Structure 1
Amino acid sequence: MEGVEGRRVCQEFSAGYYGLCAVGGMLSAGTTHLAITPLDVLKVNMQVNPIKYSGISSGFSILWREQGPSSLWRGWSGKLFGYGVQGGFKFGLYEYFKKFYSDLLEGHSRSSIYFLSSASAQVFADIALCPFEAVKVRVQAQPYYAKGLADGFPKLYYSEGLSGFYRGLFPLWGRNLPFSMIMFSTFEHSVNFIYQNIIKRRKEDCSRTQQLGVTCLAGYTAGAVGTFVSNPADNIVSSLYNKKADNVLQAVKKIGFGNLFIRSLPVRITIVGPLVTLQWFFYDTIKVLSGLPTSGGINNKKLEEAKLST
């Protein structure tokens, strides 16, 4: 498929291609996470203080009344820069690892390639995100902790040292690894299903608008499926960062096993579905404008010839 100017900015699977994917992931993730900062502020407060912030509308009302409208944008810098960095690693490395594992594991199922690629990328993405998340969650749940990253980073370092930035790394992996694996795999399979069973045409035979429409539909499906899987770990992360518990087991005991799945779930569904949809849309739009095909599928001739099982 040709780009806006009739040629591709770079060839697929080149260093420039992976760099473009990283930039696309950074822009798409950073801007979309920034846009939903008010919902994220509410989500964190619902997790840390579920009695006070018991619902979406009442929670917003309490925040607005007690802390003012500016409280809804607390932690915006952590959302923009933290998740921008995470998105760059996640999307860029996913593309790299998908090609790497498809070449290495010839004859394996597509699902195994998607799971391995997304998990490998997410490990590095969360290491990059963790310091930003540590400050962001404190800023959102503790009104007088800091104004943002500029004063939050040094304050956290002086009070807790380097370990304070990575207190929630394992729960973060526990939240994001399953979500990423489910999200990417669901997206890939959804794209294939839509083209094969709904549109009944090859991606290459569809217009850019149609391709981006498929991206949005598959993206929303992927976000919705991944939300429920990652909700328990998301609650644990918020509890640990705000010192409601000293370790994972204590957090689980205090929150309750059943509540891990349902606490803040409605607001997370409200956040994640549209968020993931917009991320994939912006990401694929950047690829299309660069003359590259939209996402979905393993572009590997050996795998295609082998007719891998799904």
Structure 2
Amino acid sequence: MRGLFEGGRICEEFSAGYYGVCAVGGLISAGTTHLAITPFDVLKVHMQVNPVKYNSISTCFTTLLREQGPSAFWRGRGGKFFGYGIQGACRFGLYEYFKKVYSNLLVDQNRSTIFFLSSASAEVIANVALSPFEAVKVRVQAQPWFAKGLIDGFPKLYASEGLFGFYRGLVPLWGRNLPFSMIMFSTFEHSVNFLYRNVIQRRKEDCSKAQQLGVTCLAGYAAGSVGSIISNPADNIVASLYNRKASSLTLAVKKIGLMNLFTRSLSIRIMLVGPVVTLQWLFYDTIKVLSGLPTSGDDRTDVEQIRTT
């Protein structure tokens, strides 16, 4: 595929520069979108941590506004931008890297296997980078007396809990984000294939930039919506552990309840994740297009099918 401008490609695909562009794109797309939804994230965390007091979105909003003022809705914005920006850089950049590696190693494997392995490998690393930021963010949002933000939150958390405090919720964080990432990337890839094969019925290279980015948005929304449902139970556990509502994974599950794991804060999570993931993919692929690179999604199988029809 030719770049946005003639000869405008700044690097070749699968080079070190290519993975750098993907990492930067992931950082910008994830960091900015998560920063924008900080108020909704504050509502979600309060509904998870104190479901009796904040039993609905409207009740949570009015109660926080009355008791803590408008500034409460922007608590944790530093953790959202920097934490999820770094996670996005690792998630997208390493996914592209591992997809190439596994595609070369597992030539005869089903494409879904490649997508699952690549996204899981990237997400394991991405969550190690995210965990300290998430630990401080959740505490700042749900416990306003704890700290104002990252600058005072990091040393205070380290002083009170040591290094373990930053990784208290790493296992449930993996439990939340690994299934989400695996489903999200696989759904995105298959959605891209489906749209080019059955809707547009043309190769990606033969479509305009606007059409390609339109496919990205549709596939991104499908990926985010499906992923949010799969990962909701672990999201509730993460909030409970980081706020010391339970001291272990088993106690957190027991205290929340099996049904509540799947239903608590699910509505606001679906409202958040679908549009956010859509915007992330749009920003990410826009950065790739501006760099003269192809949009995301592997349509090689579909290209072969299109050529035979």
Give the match for residue 132 of structure 1.
Answer: 133
Matched, 1:161 2:162: yes
Q: Which runs of 4+ in 1 moved over 4 A?
A: none
Deviation at 1:299, TM superposition (A): 6.7
CA distance in 1, matches of 2:235, 2:81: 19
Give the match for residue 272 of structure 2.
Answer: 271
Deviations 1:114-145 (A, max 9, x none): 00000000000000000000000000000111
Give the match for residue 221 of structure 2.
Answer: 220
| 8 Å contact kept, 1:22–1:91 | yes
Q: Which amino acid aligns with 1:161?
A: G
Q: Which amino acid aligns with 1:80?
A: F
1:161-180 alignment runs, 5 A limit:
161-180=162-181
Q: Which amino acid aligns with 1:3?
A: G
CA distance in 1, matches of 2:291, 2:158: 41
Give the match for residue 253 of structure 1.
Answer: 254
Deviation at 1:179, TM superposition (A): 0.3
1:1-310 alignment runs, 5 A limit:
1-7=1-7, 8-297=9-298
Q: Which amino acid aligns with 1:191?
A: V
CA distance in 2, matches of 1:215, 1:13: 20
| 8 Å contact kept, 2:43–2:60 | yes
TM-score normalised according to structure 1 size: 0.96
Q: Which moved more, 1:276-285 or 1:2-11?
A: 2-11
Q: Helix, strand or coil: the match of 1:81?
A: helix
Q: Helix, strand or coil: the match of 2:52?
A: coil
Give the match for residue 308 of structure 1.
Answer: none
Q: Which amino acid aligns with 1:260?
A: L
| 8 Å contact kept, 1:99–1:298 | no
Q: Which amino acid aligns with 2:148?
A: K
| 8 Å contact kept, 1:175–1:230 | yes
Q: Which amino acid aligns with 2:79?
A: G
| 8 Å contact kept, 1:23–1:88 | yes
Q: Which amino acid aligns with 2:199?
A: I
1:222–1:29 Cα change, 3 Å? same
Deviation at 1:3, TM superposition (A): 2.5
Q: Which runs of 5+ in 1 are unaligned?
A: 306-310
CA distance in 2, matches of 1:236, 1:263: 11
CA distance in 1, matches of 2:14, 2:286: 18
Q: Which amino acid aligns with 1:244?
A: K
Deviation at 1:53, TM superposition (A): 0.9
Deviations 1:35-83 (A, max 9, x none): 0000000000000001111111221111111100000000000000000
Deviation at 1:2, TM superposition (A): 2.6
Q: Helix, strand or coil: the match of 1:132?
A: helix
Q: Helix, strand or coil: the match of 2:215?
A: helix
Deviations 1:197-236 (A, max 9, x none): 0111111111000000000000000000001110000000
| 8 Å contact kept, 2:75–2:149 | yes
Give the match for residue 307 of structure 2.
Answer: none
CA distance in 1, matches of 2:5, 2:295: 17
| 8 Å contact kept, 1:85–1:128 | yes
TM-score normalised according to structure 2 size: 0.96
Deviation at 1:298, TM superposition (A): 6.7
Deviations 1:153-210 (A, max 9, x none): 0000000000100000000000000000000000000000000001111111110000
CA distance in 1, matches of 2:131, 2:299: 30
CA distance in 1, matches of 2:150, 2:273: 23
State percent identity of aligned pairs: 74
| 8 Å contact kept, 2:48–2:239 | yes
Task: Compute the RMSD of aligned alpha carbons.
Answer: 1.7
Q: Which amino acid aligns with 1:2?
A: R
